[in-house]
């Protein structure tokens, strides 16, 4: 089996606990794509995969990886997406050690615009981190991996995310009450600190995912919001970071307030809002005309393709249990799961900091 639907599959771009990404080619047009292959298991239930597809189909923005199509087999779901060949911004940061504030500002401005767009479409991402930011050919960033995204009509009610990026209130309040928008903004602050300093601002005691039922001693590691500002950090950036990385979500800076900050506008040299070309929201999909209409994003087709499971096994290898999370329910409103998508972490813990050093979250 070398194809799924009308897409020929190519080399492996990356692998995670229960997913892999391959290159692909649309045999109808010759367009190159990325194909995310997810295992259908109790640890990765269909409803979560459907939520990722719903999110991709609802969003259409230059700063978000575009959805093409999806296919379902008895063992896997294949999500065909825009191919972003610049790799993860993590790799750029690891190579540089840290970015200049000018480069950090360029990346952060684009990222903030993309997150603002997600929120305007009623979605919070809930797992913003370096590994979910890809570098486009023009040097801009694109957000990917919406598996933990959530509609903002109701309180998220879930504890998900990665310890070093997750907002304190998500852990401290066991997911009972928190704003998905404010939680995303905290994660943006962590990313901005990483861009400009090259290490994490806080040591949360572990580097994996978070979940409910954590011990009080573990939760206590999430109470601090007092980070160290190195000498090279400008006063304007430190001021903005302290407004974003505020443990009280009620006092945390909003996107509108971030855009008005002196650092964000570089003292007025940049406009508060970038002018981005965005397709109308009712054209939020780039799938082929014969596929399901993008206007029915809430109704994800789930027709299982006929095919040989043996052929799938030959292509993908046997299923594996390399997974560091848990899931007790298929109900998206009680999805208390978390996971590490990468392994083989090398972690250097200091007294109050965690260095970014070959670390994959």
- SS3 for 55-67 is HHHHCCCCCECCE
Residues facing residue 338 across a β-bridge: 326
Distances (CA, A) of 232 to 39, 119, 189, 235: 45, 33, 18, 9
Domain boundaries, the chain: 3-84+280-334, 89-277+344-355
**Tell me, what's the pLDDT at 156?**
53
pLDDT beneath 70: ranges in the chain: 1, 152-161, 174-177, 205-215, 217, 219, 275-303, 305-361
Rounded distance between C-alpha atoms, residue 77 and residue 107, angstroms: 32
**Tell me, what's the pLDDT at 23?**
96
Rounded distance between C-alpha atoms, residue 130 and residue 194, angstroms: 9
Identify the DSSP state of 86: T
Identify the DSSP state of 303: P
Residues facing residue 141 across a β-bridge: 135
How far from chain centre, in Å, is Cα 10? 24
Q: Which one, of 153, 145, 154, 230, lies nearest residue 187 by Cα?
A: 145
Classify 3-84+280-334 by CATH class: alpha beta
- Catalytic member of 69, 127, 145, 327: 127
Per-residue pLDDT tens for 35-84? Answer: 999 999 888 888 889 988 988 898 999 999 999 999 999 999 999 999 99
Sequence-distant (6+) residues with CB within 8 A of 267 are: 236
What is the Cα Rg of the chain in Å?
A: 20
Beta strands in the chain (DSSP E): 3-4, 7-15, 19-26, 32-39, 67-72, 76-82, 123-124, 133-135, 141-143, 150-151, 199-200, 348-349, 354-355
Rounded distance between C-alpha atoms, residue 156 and residue 150, angstroms: 7
**Tell me, what's the pLDDT at 305?**
64
**Tell me, what's the pLDDT at 96?**
94
231 is catalytic: no
Q: Is the pTM of this model over 0.85?
A: no
Classify 89-277+344-355 by CATH class: mainly alpha
**Tell me, what's the pLDDT at 153?**
58
**Tell me, what's the pLDDT at 37?**
95
Per-residue pLDDT tens for 122-158? Answer: 998 988 999 999 999 999 999 998 887 877 655 555 6
Identify the DSSP state of 259: H
């Amino acid at each position: 089996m070398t194809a799924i639907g009308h897409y020929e599959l190519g080399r492996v771009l990356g692998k995670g606990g229960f997913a892999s990404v391959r290159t692909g080619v649309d045999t109808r047009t010759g367009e190159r794509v990325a194909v995310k292959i997810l295992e259908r298991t109790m640890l990765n239930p269909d409803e979560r995969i459907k939520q990722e597809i719903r999110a991709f189909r609802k969003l259409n923005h230059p700063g978000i990886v575009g959805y093409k199509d999806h296919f379902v087999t008895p063992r896997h779901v294949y999500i065909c997406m825009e191919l972003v060949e610049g790799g993860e911004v993590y790799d750029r940061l690891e190579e540089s050690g840290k970015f200049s504030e000018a480069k950090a500002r360029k990346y952060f401005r684009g990222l903030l615009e993309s997150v603002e767009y997600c929120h305007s479409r009623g979605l919070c991402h809930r797992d913003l981190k370096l590994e979910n930011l890809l570098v486009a050919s023009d040097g801009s960033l694109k957000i990917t991996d919406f598996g933990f995204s959530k509609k903002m009509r109701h309180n998220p009610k879930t504890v998900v995310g990665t310890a070093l990026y997750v907002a304190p209130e998500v852990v401290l309040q066991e997911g009972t009450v928190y704003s998905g928008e404010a939680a995303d903004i905290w994660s943006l602050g962590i990313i901005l600190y990483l861009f400009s300093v090259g290490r994490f601002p806080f040591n949360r005691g572990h580097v994996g995912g978070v979940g409910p039922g954590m011990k009080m001693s573990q939760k206590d590691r999430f109470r601090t919001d007092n980070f160290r500002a190195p000498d090279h950090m400008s006063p304007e950036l430190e001021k903005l970071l302290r407004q974003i990385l505020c443990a009280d979500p009620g006092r945390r800076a909003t996107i509108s307030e971030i855009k008005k900050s002196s650092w964000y506008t570089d003292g007025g040299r940049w406009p508060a809002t970038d002018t981005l070309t965005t397709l109308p929201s009712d054209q939020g999909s780039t799938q082929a005309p014969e596929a399901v209409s993008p206007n029915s994003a809430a109704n994800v087709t789930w027709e299982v393709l006929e095919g040989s499971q043996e052929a799938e096994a030959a292509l993908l290898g046997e299923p594996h249990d390399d997974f560091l999370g848990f899931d007790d329910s298929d109900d998206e409103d009680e999805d208390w799961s978390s996971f590490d998508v990468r392994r083989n972490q090398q972690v250097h813990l200091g007294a109050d900091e965690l260095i970014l050093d070959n670390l994959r979250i």
